[in-house]
Amino acid sequence: MPEALKENAQKPERSFKKMPEPVVSGFTWTDGSQEIELETIAQHIEITENDGEPIGSMFTISYLKKDAQEVRPVTFCFNGGPGSASYIINIGGIGPKCVMPCGDKHIGPAPYALEMNEYSLIATSDLVFIDALGTGWSRLADGVKGKRAYSLDKDAECFSRCIAAWLEKTGRWNSPLYLFGESYGTTRNAVLIGQLAQRGIDLNGVIMLSALFDWSATIPGNDANYIQLFPTMAAIAQYHGKGAYVNELTSDELFDRALEFAEDALAPALLKGDRLDADRESELAQLMSQFIGLTSSYIAAKHLRIELTDFRQELLRDKGKVVGRLDGRFSFEAGNFLQTSSEGISEEDPSDTCTSSAWAAGFRHHVKHDLNYSNSLPYNTSAWETIGMNWIHDHTSAGVEWKSHTPNVAYDLAMSMRHNPDMKVLILGGRYDMATPFLGPIEDLARMYLSDEIKSNLEFKLYDSGHMIYVNRDAFKQMAADVEEFYKA
């Protein structure tokens, strides 16, 4: 038998998994001053190769204004991970209903307060939440291997196929189109924009919540990481009453001053390494101590390089507490000496455990009782058990001639902005977010040398919250107002 025939004979047959039929339902959303009758659609979008071979079924929830007389925007929304389902950004964030947070405290066990979300984006745009393959109820087709979806490029391609298929099903090709991605969802966005353009889909706007573009900054020992984290550490220290500027500066003033120090004083010092004069290192350590609340001797011993996990452990050590990574306002008690290794701390996060169970349970309640949808398969809040560390980040950035294991998708975003000069980009960040510090995307896009004309389409907004801005209702109220203005622009 010829080799080509042998290869084809060994390929397993692909087939979509049997999924429930789409469920159309609805309810009335209100923010107290207006009401919108919603049609909701819980359904699987089957995506295929160009030759029709199955890839997988992507679970989507659509919230559409019923019998709308105007042309409404459509916003496709998703979380990141990679490998996270999109229930968080729905029931915890911008969806029509939400589980109410408890400030910087643990929400607690059930029953949870599931209420109308007065700051939902549904007031301005129809919303479509998409679960990545392997998460939620989204599943690869039988006979399809994980490498078809579990990589930066393939994941974005699957999302582009899903969005195109959704538009074909609904006939919404001529609606204004937006993306709303959170965390790794912003990395996905930067690549997805170009993937959609190849399918003839140009976007009106893209919203990036807690953005991460240049992944090299996350590598331990990369000095860029220490620089970008510094203003965020200063903000967290001030929040917990640490440092010299607790009452002297507002949170905005402190962040701006810490950012200036990070770029103008800390950055050139780190560049010198052991060539930095010892007296200058000591002087900078004392100045850093005033900002981030750690002792100058500790900072000097680290040669001005404070790791994220070290800061989380040291800031409130006198109180026996560890602060959060996603949101440094949160804290919980440190474990005993066997439980406080850097590796152990990096895997725990009070800003995650304080909300995750409430959002998972609240979402399942919402789907069952508001959307009338049921599925016998488990809803995978994360695909981590399946993917683990096997996600393939390899990517050839737009206009670059080589592939990198630590991609910088700012190149992809910049090229898409140049190709579509009418597309607006809004980057939202939390002051207390150490997972994706706000200074990161600012520096990443500054190095793209966009023209003034293109830069006028780019806007940054900083809020008094962490990775998930909607945890702070006051910050979320302002964010919702800013996003509404973004849609009007």
pLDDT of residue 75: 98
Residues with Cβ within 8 Å of residue 190, at least 6 apart in sequence: 213, 409, 410, 412, 413, 416
C-beta separation of 402 from 151 below 8 A: no
Q: Which candidate, 20, 14, 57, 85, places its Cα nearest to that of 385?
A: 85
Q: How far is CA 219 from CA 222, 230, 394, 457, 468, in A?
A: 6, 16, 15, 30, 23
Q: Which candidate, 244, 156, 231, places its Cα nearest to that of 192?
A: 156
Give dist(CA 133, CA 140) in Å, integer.
6
Mean pLDDT throughout 278-287?
98
DSSP class of residue 319 equals G
pLDDT of residue 102: 76
Q: Work out whether the CA dihedral 360, 361, 363, 364 comes out positive or negative.
A: positive
Cα angle, residue 184 at apex, residues 230 and 423 outer, rounded to 5°: 95
pLDDT of residue 264: 98
Kindly list the domain boundaries of the chain, sorted by start residue: 16-215+356-488, 221-351
Give dist(CA 104, CA 114) in Å, integer.
18
Of the candidate ranges 9-23, 121-135, 449-463, the one whose mean pLDDT is the lowest: 9-23
Give dist(CA 43, CA 169) in Å, integer.
11
- The secondary element (H helix, E strand) that includes residue 183 is none
Q: Which candidate, 4, 2, 209, places its Cα nearest to that of 89?
A: 209
Share of the chain above pLDDT 90, in %: 84
Mean pLDDT throughout 69-95?
95
CB atoms within 10 A of CB 186: 26
pLDDT in tens, 111-138: 888 899 999 999 999 999 999 999 999 9
Any idea which architecture 16-215+356-488 has in CATH? 3-Layer(aba) Sandwich (3.40)
Give dist(CA 466, CA 329) in Å, integer.
8
Q: Look at residue 64 and give its three-state secondary structure.
A: strand
Q: Which amino acid is at 360?
A: A
Mean pLDDT throughout 206-228?
93
**Residue 391 burial (C-beta neighbours within 10 Å; 0-12, 13-18, 19+):** middle
Q: How far is CA 258 from CA 56, 228, 466, in A?
A: 47, 10, 17
Q: Report cis status (omega within 30 of 0) of the bond before 220.
A: no
**pTM for this structure?**
0.94
Q: Which candidate, 483, 461, 436, places its Cα nearest to that of 81?
A: 436
Place of tokens 């981030």: 292
pLDDT in tens, 369-409: 999 999 999 999 998 877 776 899 999 998 888 899 999 99
Q: Which candidate, 193, 154, 189, places its Cα nearest to that of 391?
A: 154
Helices (H), 217-277: 223-239, 251-261, 267-272
Give dist(CA 354, CA 331) in Å, integer.
9
Classify 128 in phi/psi space as left (phi over 0), alpha (psi -120 to 50) or beta: beta
Q: And the tokens for 249? A: 């500066």
Place of tokens 């500054």: 446
Give dist(CA 461, CA 290) in Å, integer.
26
Q: How far is CA 45 from CA 164, 216, 366, in A?
A: 10, 34, 20
pLDDT of residue 10: 62
CB atoms within 10 A of CB 425: 26
Q: Where are the beta strands (DSSP E) in 299-433?
A: 321-323, 331-333, 424-430
pLDDT of residue 339: 47
CA atoms in the 13 A half-sphere facing the CB of 179? 35
pLDDT of residue 2: 54
Confidence bin at 336 (pLDDT 50/70/90): low
**Residue 298 burial (C-beta neighbours within 10 Å; 0-12, 13-18, 19+):** middle
Mean pLDDT taken over the chain: 93
Give dist(CA 105, CA 121) in Å, integer.
25
Q: And the tokens for 133? A: 């393959």
Residue with the bigger pLDDT between 411 and 356: it is 411
